[in-house]
């Protein structure tokens, strides 16, 4: 990088042009470098929704399977959380594989992109279910079960979106997937 400046402290015109050209190649970033957060709320919300979709599919499937097998609360939650991670990772894995990444690299990208996001969502969502009176004992045909689960997803989305915004703005989380879009 050329750190030379004019005596008045400004950069030479050729350096300004080079820097602007370099930054214009990054026009898909939501905000310029140095902006607070470094990513737009829309980008963070989209990343969170992507993660939440996989988590919701896995968690609902886990709850249905655990309930159908008449498992207790703890084994059902363990299955639901495991499937939430599995489906959350798989959504990203399939997307980056379609972009041409080999399986090993795709797994690394999915783990880097989704681990924190899924963990925060699962922590929040399951805490809400566990803390909602009667929700753990509600059956699949009870409104209480679905309202606690869907309410947990909504709160998890609201809490995880700023986390994803912060991570994407620092080149972490879903930012690692953007290279393959």
Give the residue from 100, 94, 118 showing the smallest Cα distance to 173: 118
Least confident of 22-26, 92-96, 141-145: 22-26
**pLDDT tens-digit series, residues 37-76:** 478 999 999 989 989 999 999 999 999 999 889 999 999 9
Confidence label for 132 from pLDDT (cuts 50, 70 and 90): very high
SS3 19: helix
pLDDT at residue 173 above 60? yes
CA distance 150 to 118: 16
CA nearest neighbour of 51 among 114, 129, 105, 1: 114
φ/ψ of 161, rounded to 5, equals: -60, -50
| Of 140 and 20, more confident | 140
5-to-2, 13, 17, 33, 102 alpha-carbon distances in Å: 9, 10, 14, 21, 45
Our measurement of the distance from residue 14's CA atom to the centroid of its chain's CA atoms, rounded to an integer in Å, reads 40
Q: Cβ–Cβ contacts within 10 Å for residue 103, how many?
A: 10
Global pTM reads: 0.76
pLDDT exceeding 70 applies to what percent of the chain? 77
**pLDDT in the model for residue 54:** 94
């Amino acid at each position: 990088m050329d750190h030379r400046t004019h005596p008045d402290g400004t950069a030479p015109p050729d350096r300004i042009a080079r820097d602007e050209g370099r930054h214009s190649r990054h026009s898909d970033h939501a905000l310029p470098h140095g902006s607070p957060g470094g990513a737009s709320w829309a980008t963070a919300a989209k990343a969170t929704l992507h993660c939440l979709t996989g988590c919701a599919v896995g968690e609902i499937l886990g709850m249905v399977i655990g309930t159908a097998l008449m498992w207790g609360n703890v084994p059902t939650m363990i299955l639901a959380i495991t499937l939430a991670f599995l489906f959350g990772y798989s959504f990203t894995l399939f997307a980056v594989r379609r972009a041409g990444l080999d399986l090993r690299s795709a797994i690394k990208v999915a783990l880097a992109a989704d681990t924190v996001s899924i963990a925060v969502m699962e922590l929040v969502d399951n805490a809400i279910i566990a803390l909602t009176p009667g929700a753990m004992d509600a059956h699949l045909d009870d409104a209480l079960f679905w309202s606690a689960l869907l309410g947990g997803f909504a709160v998890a989305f609201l809490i995880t979106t700023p986390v994803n915004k912060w991570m994407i703005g620092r080149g972490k989380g879903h930012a690692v997937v953007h290279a393959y879009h």
